[in-house]
């Protein structure tokens, strides 16, 4: 149990060193929230006994220990449970670096490495860990006469600025994970024309700018429409492109690596072969009326455009129905008019000349030609007797 005693001695020495540690070199390390972090112990030799401790206000807690040729977890503080392991130091090639997984904001602080070996004796080094949750997106929404800019899950405390003045104050909230949500609202004065707003959220590590344009509505009177995405000159090829309908339904995505993807229900409405930042719509009906939003994004910037599309063509189904009905009505009216005219003429002629009614009966009696043959001859004779003037009139 030589090692056990040794590690006790080391622990005791640790405490001593902590008190007198002022002046020892500290290494600053910055790690991204929820990622893997490597803390290096600056030794050039393999240690027989190695402790990584986290320094708190009140003392220190064990993060990871190694002695008797294996990792030791009995003293490990529960907050580091299952998140630590020792890895080879990139510089020295010795397995003395601490790998910490799923880094939390609470992991920020001072870490001390204590090492001892038969050959080289006792050494310590300190690492100061800083955690950053970078700004990953900034959203801008408009409701009535105000616009709100917001970002979530940022650390440390971010700042928000609007491109326009007057500046509006922002609200910051801290989540359970100690990350910050920030938001700010801007009152909009009544205005005509396109509205363009830009907002930036920045923190220690990075910043993100979102520029949003709300366009005047577009009206289409045909089943086709084109909606363009941005005002900028930069090629959309440098961005990830996303088209949405009514803010929620994804119409199309495009990026350099994966190419274009049109969602199934929009396949018939999108002219997919035309890849550009202009959305070519076809086969439109009133169902496709609504806001079309385009989002161009890449690291640290997003450009969004919202365009309301009005489809002002008669619905094809309704159009056909209306047409059928007007034809039916027209035919009924025509038939009635014909009947009235015929009845009127019959009545008029039978009144002025009783013989005039007879040709109407001809059709009816034609089936029985033989029987009626004499009568027909009779009729034609009578018609032939009409005066020349009457013939001209007919
Ligand atoms: C580490 O960070 C602290 C505060 O952030 C700073 O004062 C110090 O100079 C830094 N040390 C090194 C070695 O960069
Ligand atoms: C912060 O934003 C996250 C993500 O949208 C949300 O789940 C959480 O409730 C927000 N927390 C606070 C305190 O606003
Ligand atoms: C866009 O490009 C044109 C010429 O191609 C140039 O005159 C104009 O200033 C550019 N606009 C912006 C916003 O870069
Ligand atoms: C490209 O788009 C796909 C989804 O359509 C996404 O999974 C991927 O991360 C995107 N690539 C880049 C570089 O953003």
Residue 365 belongs to some domain of the structure: no
Last residue of a domain, which of 266, 286, 315? 315
| Residue 103 · residue 54 · CB < 8 Å | no
Note the ligand closest to the C-alpha atom of 242: 4
pLDDT band of residue 199 (cuts 50, 70, 90) is very high
This prediction has a pTM of 0.70
Q: Does 159 have pLDDT greater than 70?
A: yes
Same domain, 57 and 110: yes
Range of the domain at 188: 133-205
Beta bridge partners of 280: 226
Same domain, 244 and 295: yes
Last residue of a domain, which of 98, 113, 132? 132
Same domain, 175 and 127: no
Same domain, 36 and 122: yes
Same domain, 14 and 109: yes
Average pLDDT over residues 149-162: 96
Note the ligand closest to the C-alpha atom of 24: 1
For residue 227, the surrounding DSSP H or E stretch is strand 225-228
Query: Mind giving me the DSSP string for 316-379?
Result: HHHHHHHHHHHHHHHHHHHHHHHHHHHHHHHHHHHHH-GGGGHHHHHHHHGGGHHHHHHHHHHH
Residue of 55, 19, 60, 51 whose CA lies nearest to 123: 51
Atom of ligand 1 nearest to the CA of 25: 13
| Residue 294 · residue 227 · CB < 8 Å | yes
Pairing of strands 180-187, 146-154: antiparallel
Q: Does 239 have pLDDT greater than 90?
A: no
Counting ligand 2 atoms within 8 A of each CB, the residue from 175, 179, 201 with the most, and so the one to mutate, is 175
pLDDT of residue 38: 94
Convert the pLDDT of each residue in 257-276 to its tens digit: 998 899 999 999 998 776 67
Q: Give residues (CB < 6 A) around ligand 4.
A: 240, 253, 255, 257-258, 261
Convert the pLDDT of each residue in 287-301 to its tens digit: 999 999 999 999 999
Same domain, 11 and 127: yes
Q: Does 230 have pLDDT greater than 80?
A: no
Same domain, 165 and 112: no
Q: Give residues (CB < 6 A) around ligand 2.
A: 152, 173, 175, 181
Which of the listed ranges 40-44, 116-120, 215-219 does the model predict with the highest average pLDDT?
Answer: 215-219
Note the ligand closest to the C-alpha atom of 258: 4
pLDDT of residue 145: 84
- How many domains, the chain? 3
Other beta carbons within 10 Å of 386: 14
pLDDT of residue 307: 94
Same domain, 90 and 11: yes
Q: Which residue has the tokens 């709300």?
A: 214
The CA distance from 199 to 213, in Å, is: 12
pLDDT band of residue 122 (cuts 50, 70, 90) is confident
- CATH number of the domain within which 116 lies: 2.60.40.10
**Residues of the chain with pLDDT > 90: what percent?**
47
Last residue of a domain, which of 281, 315, 349? 315
Residue 83 belongs to some domain of the structure: yes
| Residue 194 · residue 216 · CB < 8 Å | yes
Same domain, 250 and 143: no
Closest C-alpha to ligand 1, atom 3: 28
Atom of ligand 2 nearest to the CA of 179: 1
């Amino acid at each position: 149990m030589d090692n056990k005693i040794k590690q006790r001695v080391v622990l005791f020495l640790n405490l001593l060193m902590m008190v007198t540690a002022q002046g020892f070199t500290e290494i600053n390390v910055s790690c991204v929230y929820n990622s893997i972090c490597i803390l290096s112990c600056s030794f050039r030799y393999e240690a027989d006994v190695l402790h990584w401790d986290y320094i708190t206000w009140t003392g220190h807690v064990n993060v990871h220990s190694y002695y008797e040729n294996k990792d030791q977890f009995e003293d490990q503080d529960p907050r580091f449970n299952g998140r630590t392991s020792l890895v080879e130091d990139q510089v020295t090639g010795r397995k003395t670096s601490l790998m910490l997984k799923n880094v939390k904001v609470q992991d920020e602080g001072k870490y001390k490495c204590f090492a001892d070996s038969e050959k080289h004796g006792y050494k310590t080094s300190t690492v100061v860990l800083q955690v950053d949750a970078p700004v990953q997106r900034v959203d801008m929404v408009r409701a009535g006469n105000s616009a709100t800019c917001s970002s979530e899950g940022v650390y440390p405390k971010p700042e928000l600025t609007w491109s326009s003045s007057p500046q509006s104050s922002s609200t910051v909230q801290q989540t359970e994970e100690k990350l910050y949500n920030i938001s700010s609202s801007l009152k909009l004065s009544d205005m005509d024309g396109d509205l363009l707003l830009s907002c930036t959220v920045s923190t220690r590590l990075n910043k993100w700018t979102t520029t949003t344009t709300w366009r005047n509505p577009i009206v289409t009177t045909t089943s086709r429409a084109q909606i363009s995405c941005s005002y900028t000159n930069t090629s959309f090829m440098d961005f990830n492109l996303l088209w949405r309908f009514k803010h929620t339904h994804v119409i199309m995505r495009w990026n350099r690596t994966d190419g274009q993807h049109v969602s199934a229900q929009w396949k018939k409405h999108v002219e997919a072969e035309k890849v550009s930042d202009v959305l070519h719509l076809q086969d439109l009906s009133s169902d496709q009326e609504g806001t079309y939003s385009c989002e161009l994004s890449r690291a640290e910037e997003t450009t969004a455009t919202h365009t309301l599309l009005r489809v002002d063509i008669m619905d094809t189904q309704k159009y056909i129905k209306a047409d059928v009905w007007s034809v039916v009505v027209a035919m009924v009216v025509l038939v009635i008019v014909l009947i009235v005219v015929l009845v009127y003429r019959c009545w008029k002629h039978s009144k002025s000349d009783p013989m005039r009614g007879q040709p109407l009966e001809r059709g009816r009696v034609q089936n029985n030609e033989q029987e009626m043959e004499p009568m027909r001859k009779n009729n034609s004779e009578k018609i032939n007797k009409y005066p020349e003037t009457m013939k001209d009139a007919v």
